[in-house]
Amino acid sequence: MHEPIVVLDVETTGLDFDRDEIIEFAAWRIEEGEPVGSLNFLVRPQQEVPPKILKLTGITAAELALASPLTEHRAEILDFLQGVVIAGHNIAFDLAFLERACGHNAAVGVWDTLELARIFFPSMPNHRLSTLVEKLGLNRSTQERWHRAGTDAWATWKLLQACWNHGTQLDQSFYDQAAPLLSGWEGRSFVQALHKHIARTFPDRPIRTGLILAESPAWPDNKPKSRVSADREWVINCFTSGGILEQSLAGYESRSGQVKMAEAVTSALSAPSHAVIEAGTGTGKSLAYLIPSLWWAKKIGKKVVVATHTIPLQEQLYTKDLPLLEQALPFSFHTSLLKGRGNYLCLKKWTEHLGVAPEFLPEERLASLSILTWLRQTGSGDVQELARFRGIDKIWPRICADTEGCYPKKCRYAGVCFLLRARKQAEEADVIVVNHSLLFSDMRADYKVIPEYRYLVVDEAHHFHEVALEQLAARISLEQIKLIMEKIFRQGGGGFLAQLKNRLHKLEEILPEFDWIRFGTETAEIPDLCQGVLVQAQELFEFLGGIVGKEQTLRLTAWHRSEGWWGIFAVQAENLRQRLQAVDAKLKAISSLIARQDEDLLEENLYELSMYSSHLEEFIEVLSLIFEEESPERVTWLESFPTLSLKSSPVEVAGILAEKIFARLEASVLTSATISIAGAFHHFLREVGLPLTTNALKVESPFDYERQMRFFVVKDLLQEAEQAANFIAGVAELMRGRTMVLFTSHSFLRETHGFLVECLRHTGLEVLGQGIDGGRKSVLEQFLSNPQSVLLGASSFWEGIDIPGESLSCVIIVKLPFWPPTLPLIQARSELLNSRGLNPFRDFLLPEAVIRFKQGFGRLIRSKGDRGIVILLDSRVIQKSYGAVFLSSLPLRKHVRAERRQVLAGVESWLSNSLENAVLF
């Protein structure tokens, strides 16, 4: 880096660009790669600076009062920036404020280290400056007089150096491939300078051509071969005091619950039989099913599949738990991580993608540069390794190994295909780690996705039937139709149809019998047919949007057929169905022509045609189901979020799971922390299609809930946002933040948020509302970084949130989490149960609410050292007879029921370790 560079950062009074002012400016001047000067000062703002900003920056109000106004520094700033390249992290933010405050700057270029870090360090968890500093081991400035802008400017300089140093390690072909992607990007001079530097400094570095990929990581297999014990007691002894785990894992303690669970899993696999296990938080259930699974797979030489609900837990098992066991267990084993096709990069599509680089938007160019680097690092091609940003999310559907355009077996990249590599590892594995969705994708694909297995462990099993319903539902939306039509035929060139013509004409000499005239006739009609589908789909979904209005869902029933709009809907839906059938017929006709040729080279084309035809058949099926005679076992509805779609789903999946999953297995284990209802497993067993006689075990948590926490029920609080906010504010002040509030309604959350902000305005406590102050991930990160805050979350916060320690010391549950009875699936399921003489509330709505309630309740105590409070604002739990079912399903026997004033006093008493005056029930 020979250009003069100024690395800068500014801090402002808040997050409202139109009103914000700069309160700190910091910059380093770099020449010939070395800092030669700095500029740092505070700026006195015209408005009051929020306490949150003062805390964030480390600046005090007194310091700002002594600072000069920005006008006194304008000339100094402009002089400092004269004729240099300006660098900064998310530099557009800083430059916008500088240009507003100082006018046009005289810089000769701009380098954004946020963009550069995304290119050179694509696998970071995220690209915030603080994360990069930590992960890359960068040194912040040690100058004590500097506040946040000063230290961030120095860290940005260190990050710029790290990007340069990493770039010097890349091969020449990277820069050759990157060149078409640099056009129009302000940071291109940085990459071009790197390229020149490498060519000048490393003239003998070999230039490789084609795809440059990282080596595939191999599972370590250097352990001496050891016989697997035939005695099932060996498995149990691993968990006991003095056993293998205690000898091998630092800090491991034998837990009676974990021993019981391991014994039950071992018994189920070896019997063989099915088993359901509820393992309380802290049991250590992952190891309790992994060791028996590994032992059994090695003992009999057959695979065990472990399925989790979420990809993060899937990866935790594979990257954390299984490597620990590789070190601890005396025998070697092989495992694999297998995900859906859409998670893997398709090298064929990637190569085609690079071929149209001139058409890319700026964010697509940046994402492509990021992936170009990542391909030299990844052994799996799994998108979860990439830090996600808008550009990645935009191009990934075009380059992933989904069904269209990806036929691994006949692909020229088959030898290095990430998807085939993952499947090969699965074929060789003893234990395969998948997610619930992949199990059902395998089922729908006639069991061709996951290698044959007869033993299954399902973790987070309380989600199993929900995922089945989701995966077995058929859906159609305007966006889906547009995507498939544009993939088949793209206006202006490209698309599958154009590619197919090009491929076949290149093979013309070896296809003397091919009916080119018929092929030309069939393909000539497809563009107009695709356009007709798009026009009709647009018309249909605009009409449906008017029908659903502001509602989130609208169930379509026989009653609606007498409505005036139904006739118009029926005609438009039938027109769309016929147009889809016409396109499908053309694809099938083309497929028939190609299939008559005895050429292996054509298999890929046949595969792609069948995939597009399959998508069209799904759309046609949904449109056909609407007009079939209404069945109590199926429900069809309109759903407006996130985009308007038409859905059709089975009402229950128990019979499907029994036939298509469990009947094929020799043994299965289903486990979760929340399965039982008041100690009974009947509801869960019915939902997943297992006999009520299935072996079931409840393993209590090792945590001492009676000592570690208190549970309060507020008796006198109405479900009004202002009243709820006033009470929450009182609790939050006593707790000094550290509070998470769980809602069942986004609208009530938003209403409460407004009142709560006012209540806490002068307390120094921050209010973080999901969907208001950021998405789920963003507000959670803000909550973790600032303990003096209150987090308001809806459905996605009721589970999957693990915050051990003092950062979360209070959980407030606003309302018992019953599903709204008007949701189409819930409504249809209730009607079906009624028709069978069952009580929908008792046999369905109540058990589902209890399981969700247990999940929310479980957010508080995550370790033996945790202490805190759960408060329920819904008095129905003590006023209604069904409340006893909720209370008897919790891991503690006592609770405090009182009015608001008494609850606040109880919280204060608990905080001072004295509950002598509380009345316990």
CA separation for the pair 589, 581 (Å, rounded): 12
CA separation for the pair 172, 178 (Å, rounded): 10
CB burial of residue 652 (10 Å; 0-12, 13-18, 19+): buried
Sheet holding 85-88, edge to edge: 34-42, 22-31, 5-12, 85-88, 109-112
Residues with Cβ within 8 Å of 310's Cβ and at least 6 positions away in sequence, in order, are 435, 460, 800
Cα–Cα distances in Å, from 477 out to 23, 400, 482, 826?
A: 49, 21, 9, 22
CA separation for the pair 812, 515 (Å, rounded): 71
Q: What is the DSSP letter of 711?
A: E
Longest CA span, the chain: 95
Backbone angles phi, psi at 187, to 5 degrees: -85, 5
Chain segment 778-810, per-residue pLDDT in tens:
899 889 988 899 999 998 899 988 887 889 999
Q: Residue 774: left (phi > 0), alpha (psi -120 to 50), or beta?
A: left
> Three-class SS of residue 639?
strand
Cα–Cα distances in Å, from 672 out to 467, 520, 854?
A: 15, 57, 11
Measured over the CA atoms of residue 243, residue 249, residue 250 and residue 256, the dihedral's sign is negative
Chain segment 379-411, per-residue pLDDT in tens:
999 999 998 888 999 999 889 998 666 666 678
Q: How many CB atoms lie within 10 A of CB 567?
A: 10
Token representation of residue 840 = 């929908």
Measured over the CA atoms of residue 721, residue 727, residue 730 and residue 734, the dihedral's sign is negative
pLDDT of residue 88: 95
At residue 533 the predicted structure's pLDDT band, cuts being 50, 70 and 90, is very high
Q: What value does the mean pLDDT take over residues 13-37?
A: 81
Residues with Cβ within 8 Å of 289's Cβ and at least 6 positions away in sequence, in order, are 261, 262, 265, 306, 457, 459, 669, 671
> Three-class SS of residue 790?
strand
pLDDT of residue 917: 39
Residue 874 pLDDT exceeds 60:
yes
* DSSP per-residue codes, 197-230: HHHHH-TTS----S---PPPP-----SPP-PPPS
pLDDT of residue 219: 53
At residue 67 the predicted structure's pLDDT band, cuts being 50, 70 and 90, is confident
Chain segment 235-268, per-residue pLDDT in tens:
999 999 999 999 999 889 999 999 999 999 999 9
CB burial of residue 655 (10 Å; 0-12, 13-18, 19+): exposed
Residue 918 pLDDT exceeds 50:
no
CA separation for the pair 702, 281 (Å, rounded): 8
Cα–Cα distances in Å, from 139 out to 24, 142, 153?
A: 21, 8, 11
pLDDT of residue 879: 95
The answer to whether residues 816 and 876 touch, using CB atoms and an 8 Å cutoff, is yes
Average pLDDT, rounded, for the chain: 90
* DSSP per-residue codes, 761-778: TTTT-EEEETTTSS-HHH
At residue 920 the predicted structure's pLDDT band, cuts being 50, 70 and 90, is very low
Chain segment 535-584, per-residue pLDDT in tens:
999 999 999 999 999 889 999 998 999 899 999 999 999 999 999 999 99
The answer to whether residues 651 and 635 touch, using CB atoms and an 8 Å cutoff, is yes
